[in-house]
Every structure is written in structure tokens, then in C-alpha cells.
Amino acid sequence: MLSAGAAAGIVVGCSTRTGEQPVAKEGADAGAVEVNLNPAETDIDLGGVTVRTWAFAGQVPAKEIRIRKGQTFRAPVTNNLPQETSVHWHGLAIPNNMDGVPVLTQPPIPPGGNFTYEWVAPQTGTYYLHSHVGTQLDRGLYGPLIIEDPNEKADYDDELVLVLDDWIDGTGTNPDQVLEKLQKTGMKPMEQTPGAGVTPTTPLGTDGGDVTYPYYLINGRVTTDPQVKDYRAGQRIRLRIINAGGDTAFRVAVPGTELNVTHTDGYPVMPQRTNSVILGMGERADAVVTIGSSVPVVAAPEGKDGYAQLNLRVDGKPADVNVEEFVKTLRATPTLNTAQLTPAPEVLLPQRTPDMTLEMRLTGPVNGYTWPVNGKLYDPPNNGMAVAPGKRVRVKLISESRMFHPIHLHGHTFQVVQPSAPGARKDTVLVPPLQTVEFDFDTDNPGRWITHCHNDYHLESGMATFIEYTG
């Protein structure tokens, strides 16, 4: 068994502005880690499919960042894009002025401009970074961010980060044009069918999303030319799964293999065995699998056709799995929503009655293609919700919409409210159509924090608000 630190390729270190190779550092008190994240237009090979897109330092996903809790992280950004940009560190409770949200926390970085992000890693787990401007998240501007716990008792042999994505950029259109078309054409509100089609096998209803993508990717590779990773039979692999999609939830499974889910959104849960797990955009899950023979990891886009895959290969042999058939079975079987997981005792919020309740009424599409929260469209710095420091706040997400919305709160990790016991600690939670989901959080990180739908097209069409408090 390896320690978590030794398990995967360490890419931490001090890279310089001239782009020298990072130097690995040993020990929890290693110095600052610096990574240049210069976004630029570039050609990317997705596995026989070459696209012109926007990427961080020429890679999709961006090169994995792996640091330790308590380490200082610094990311100088020079914006080589033709648009303004910013970088958001999804799920991290860092100071507000490093959160990367234009207007609320910083002016966007103009084309040709610079900004340096710097923060101390406040927590451990599986996170990711992405642009927080326009539809840039649905180009190539995202990458995994892993924060290791030097004291974690790691019960696995190796680990593998899986970044899921839906891809359209550079295939004859781009996300800005997709958004323009949606906003120009509008969408009819869906038929008033009771329940919007939510069933145990279709937990997010019948509407998979607003965008039809030509490709689904794991680690930047299309289905027909997947990434292959070599293992030995019997090895236990910790999968760190990140849904970096713009408009797609994924159902993830490994044929004939149980997933033992240990974390969601970076936080530990009571381990839960399952055949598959569903992740909305912005959600993550860690799961340990024991490998028998060669087998693919399959990610099926919810309510859409096709699938993404990555191959776990044993003894150099091809997998003997009919993936098309497997995906049919996967779609016809109930799946695990990570909000239903039980948090590990050490990450429970202290028991406390909420001091106040905030309601977020999610509606849309209305007036063509807009997605209001409490009847209003995102308009920073207007329309925020003032709260006080040192409080326990309950947020009630009330969906009056016939489409699912993964709702993300910046700067905090909330606790999902479940009927009988505390739910998982998370930063992004799926709100199925016409359902209400509640979470609690403590106002312990002052600032102006956006809370929004992680569907990039809903966000850009108004589905966000923010909470605000001072220290």
C-alpha cells in the first residue's frame, strides 16, 4: 500500500515564469507551490479529433495540481485570450478576494492583463479550477486540483483522477455561439407533466439539458480513443471523479465492479457501496474499486445519447465488455446521488438550530431563455442576500423548474439536510425538477459569495445570486 502522497504522480513544485519543470517537494511544510495558468487559444487533440479551443497552458484538462493542506499556492495568470477571464477554485473556503468571480470579488482580467491568485490550502480532497467568465468553462478552461492530507489513512494502492466533460468547442461552433442561439431562439417551458419524470431510474427527470454535444470526454479523450491506464489484477484504485461539464450530468460506473464511495466534494462520507454514482456539473466523488480484469470506466450523460470511457487495463488485455449494452443497463438501474450519503463523523457541522432561512426559488426557462432566482436575474452587486457572521444559515432550494439544477455555493462547504439524519458535506448539490433541497452552512468566511446553478448556460442566463456578510 502506498501513502496518498506517493500514490500518484506528484506535480507540485515551483515552476518559474519561464515554464521550467516543477520541482517535487517533500514534507508537509514544503514551501509555496507556483503554477502558471496562462489561458490561450490553442489546438488540442482529443484523440483523433483536433479542436481549436481555449486552454490553460496548452492542455485539456489543465495539468493536475496536487498540493498539501496548509501549503501556500500561487498562480500567476496572464490572459492571452481575446476575452476577459478569471480563475475560480471550486469548493475551496479561501479568502473572498481570491475566489475569481468578476464584480463580486475582483475585476475580470482583461485580454493581455495579469492577476496572481495566492491562497493557503484550507482543506483536503478532490477539487477543480475553472474560468468563471461567460461560457469559458465549456471550452477547455478547467483542470483538477487535488489537496492531500498528509495524515490520511489511505486504504488503496493507487489513485486516478477522472475529469468528465461534454465537448462542443471547435467543432464548427463554440459555447458563445451555443449560448447566443439558446437566448435568441428561446426554449418553451416543458409540458406541465406531474413530477417532471423523476423516478428511481431517472432521478433528474426527463430533461437532460439544453445542449446536444458531439463528444463526451474523460481526461480530454473522446470515446473512440480513450485513455488507457495499466494495473495489476487485485489492485485497489481510488478514483477521483470530477464532473467539469457545462450542461451534462454523468452516471459513472465500472462494469461488474462495485464502487466504494468514500468522499463527495472533497469531504469524507461513511463508505457506501454502489453500482453507479450520478454527478451533476461541479460535483465530485471519490470511490475505490478493486480491479479484476481489464474493464472500462463508463460515464453516461444523463438524458443524452452516448458515453465517455477510460480503460483500466490488466495484463495488456483488451476489456471484454459490450459497453453499449452496459450503458443501457446502467440507465435502467437506480443510481446513487451523493447528497444521500452520510457524512463521516469528523466532518459533521456541530449540531445547531438554524438562525435564519434563505429561500432560493429556481424557475425557468422564462421569457425565452432566462433562469431567475426568486424572480430576479443575477445582477451583481445588486440583488444579493445579506446575512450576519457567526450564524447557522439554512438555504431552501425550491425548484419550480422542470429541469435539474446543480446548485453551488462558493467559499463554504454546506451540510445537506436529510429527513432523518445530517446529510453529506458538499459544495454542489443536485436539485431535481420540482423538488426542494435544503442545506445548512455557517457564516465563517466573510465576503460576497456567489451561489449559482452550475449549468454554465443557466448561470449565463441569470441563475445566480449571492450572499454577503462582513467579519
Residues lying near Cu ion in the complex (CB under 5 A)? 405, 453, 455, 458
d(CA 299, CA 309): 6
Name which of 313, 137, 301 is nearest 223 in CA terms. Answer: 301
The minimum distance between CB 416 and Cu ion, in angstroms, equals 18
Beta strands in 47-141 (DSSP E): 50-56, 65-68, 72-78, 87-90, 114-120, 125-131
Choice between 146 and 281, CB closer to Cu ion = 281
Distance CA 400, CA 456 (A): 19
Q: How far is the CB of 372 from Cu ion (least distance, A)?
A: 11
Q: Cβ closer to Cu ion: 280 or 343?
A: 280
Q: Rounded to an integer, what distance in angstroms lies between the CA atom of residue 64 and that of residue 148?
A: 13
Beta-carbon count within 10 A of 455 CB:
28
Q: Distance between CA 419 and CA 341 in Å, rounded?
A: 13
* CB 280, min distance to Cu ion, A: 9
Nearer to Cu ion, 130 or 238 (CB): 130
Shortest separation between residue 462's beta carbon and Cu ion, angstroms: 10
Name the residue nearer to Cu ion (CB basis): 5 or 364. Answer: 364
User: What cell numbers appear for 324 in the block?
Assistant: 453499449
| Helices within 57-208 (DSSP H only) | 175-185
Closest approach, Cβ 459 to Cu ion, in A, equals 7
**Minimum distance from residue 137 beta carbon to Cu ion (Å):** 13
Burial degree of 429 (CB within 10 A; 0-12, 13-18, 19+): buried
With contact defined as beta carbons under 8 Å apart, do 438 and 416 qualify?
yes
Amino acid, res. 421: A
In the complex with Cu ion, the residue whose CB is nearer, 360 or 453, is 453
In the bound state with Cu ion, the residue whose beta carbon lies nearer, of 98 and 453, is 453
Give whichever of 242 and 453 is closer to Cu ion, judged by the CB atom: 453
Asked if 38 and 80 touch (Cβ cutoff 8 Å), the reply is yes
* Cβ distance to Cu ion smaller for residue 267 or 371: 371
How far is residue 349's CA from residue 9's CA, in Å, rounded to a whole number? 33
Closer residue to Cu ion, CB minimum distance, 255 or 462: 462
SS3 98: helix
Pick 238 or 402: Cβ nearer Cu ion: 402
- DSSP 8-state assignment for residue 70: T
β-pairing, 142-148 vs 125-131, is antiparallel
d(CA 309, CA 228): 10
Q: What is the DSSP string of 454-471?
A: S-HHHHTTT-EEEEEE--
Nearest to 128 by CA among 288, 280, 300, 265: 265
